[in-house]
Amino acid sequence: MKITLGQLNPVIGDLKGNSELILKACQEAFQQKADLLITPELSLWGYPPKDLLLNPDHIKEQWPILNKMVKRVEKETPNLILLVGIAESITDYKLPSLFNSIALVDKSGWEIIARKQLLPTYDVFDEKRYFRAAESTGKVSININKKKWHIGITICEDLWVKQEIQGRLIEGPDPLDELEKSPIDLLLNLSASPFTHKKEAIRHKLAASAARRLSCPVAYVNQVGGNDELIFDGASFVVDKRGDLAFTLPRCQESIKTWESTTNSKTLSISQQDPQKKLFEALVLGVRDYAKKCGFKSALIGLSGGIDSALVAIIAVAALGHENVSAVLMPSPWSSSHSITDATDLAKRLCIHTDLIQIDALMKSYDSSLETVLGELPTGLTAENLQARIRGTLLMAIANKQEHLLLSTGNKSELAVGYCTLYGDMNGGLAVIGDLYKTSVFKLCDWIDSIDAKESKRLFRLPKSELIGPAIRHKSPSAELRPGQLDSDSLPQYETLDPILKVLIEKKGNLNELLERGYDPRLIKQIQIMLKQSEFKRRQAPPMLKVSNQAFGSGWRVPIAANYVEQIH
């Protein structure tokens, strides 16, 4: 049997457009002489469709589309069998009223053959809001090439049943139990699994475990593309019945490739690709798709001469092309001379257009206006925030007029402790590096300027030379809020701050672990308080591309008005 893995990049909610995308994949699979085409979870909708699933008219729209797909398959790709992810209606008037289902489409019609059993409700997932859990595992028998194939079908989380591999289990049945009792020739997993640093390796281990358990190959197809904050990296694959990798699709790009089931398939080595390369490619995909799917053709960045805005500029150029990226330099009386020269040199290396706006006069105007109300000139934090808010207003005005997507340049460390200004440097339509700690920014920038980034620079048509440069990479971090100011005046060194933040954010505040590592209890409490007090800012931040296990996005649900800072003894 020849199975095509359709690693597709759908647009959420565009049922007609996504059906055309699937039918185009059918044509490619047919040309590759495939017998079966599998597409990702909810491939007709794009994942995650969220509250679009609550619109009954949108649900009804599926049925005529599926009927049209049957006719197109019959006419254009006869004898090809297609598996497509849909939202199946339940008519018993109970809530939730949908199943997350897989429909088999061929020239004779369509039918539901599998429903998802394990519904995730952790982190960014909220499937029990929309779907009801199935009570049995999907299985279908298909006659192909004079053989009757017994095929098990799981949907994404249904494969995540090994606590020792994934670290946790969803309460519910093990969907593979049923398949163990009734032998199958092949297991399919249709997924929409977002990118995180170690996710790909976990998927391979889970599929290998299932293959050995069921004594059959496992074909895993994953959605690709950026959808709001989530980045789906694709990286679909097949493992043989021994659990060895037999077939792969590329990361972070659409791909339609066919695997032929044979007893002597060649074992592939698992690529130990640089994690910085994977991260960079994921961020580029996230920016590219967010802009495209939101209707933006160009991006705007406030370029400061610092490492954060430099990294965002490089990602934007890789995603959209240098001709579609513009930058604005906005020096104040407190800006150092090297900030302007560093930013200008970076823009020249990237070949992006820049404008320079001196904000001295605007700052004086604000000071004068506020003096009337305050009875004195603004000082301290009020004055420091004014320059950020002036810059944010200018950037938004330019973005509005020239129809750019304004990219925010704040990192996760700053967002965590509130070292950012609402309606200032937090302005924008997308926070590109909002899930990268400052130390992660340093590491990624070091990689970009290393020989290891050569392949990625070629792939994204970036200049081969050093892009960021030592002047930016090695300077002491500063928001230049006042003459000679450094981040370390207000914050611990990032090498100290970030490990504490990682435990507080990603491990939900395991204070004993921090104390055992030797961190000062007073410092831990100080950072806890800053993290809590900044929650109202993060609630108003732009969407942030998620690359970690716990980002400040839809998966972070911490109340603003609360008291939860623990006493440290």
Q: Please, where are the H alpha helices in 32-131? A: 56-60, 62-76
* Alpha-carbon span 521 to 507, nearest angstrom: 17
| CA dihedral sign, ordered 317, 320, 324, 326 | negative
41 catalytic, yes or no? yes
* Burial (0-12, 13-18, 19+ Cβ within 10 Å), 515: middle
* 116 annotated active-site: yes
Question: What is the distance of C-alpha 34 from the center of its chain?
Answer: 31
Q: With H, G, I as helix, E, B as strand and everything else as coil, classify residue 169.
A: coil
**Straight-line distance from the first to the last Cα atom of the chain, in angstroms, rounded to the nearest whole number:** 64
CA 226, chain centre distance (Å): 6
- Of the residues 26, 116, 252, 480, only one is catalytic, namely 116
Residue 127 C-alpha from the chain's centroid: 18
Among 26, 88, 127, 156, which one carries the catalytic annotation? 156
Report how far residue 388's alpha carbon sits from residue 67's, in angstroms, rounded to the nearest whole number.
Answer: 55
Identify whether the C-beta of residue 441 lies closer than 8 Å to the C-beta of residue 550.
no
Q: Where are the beta strands (DSSP E) in 136-288?
A: 138-144, 147-155, 186-191, 218-222, 224-227, 230-233, 237-239, 245-248, 255-260
What residues does 405 pair with on adjacent strands?
A: 299
Taking a C-beta distance cutoff of 8 angstroms, is the pair 413, 237 a contact? no
- Give, in order, the Cα–Cα distances in Å from 421 to each of 156, 383, 393, 481, 519: 39, 12, 12, 11, 28
Cα distances from 110 to residues 65, 106, 115, in angstroms, run 11, 6, 15
The distance of Cα 464 from the centroid of its chain, to the nearest Å, equals 27
Dist CA 351 CA 340 (whole Å): 16
Q: Which of 41, 229, 281, 480 is catalytic?
A: 41
153 neighbors 140 (Cβ within 8 angstroms): yes
Report the catalytic residues: 41, 116, 156
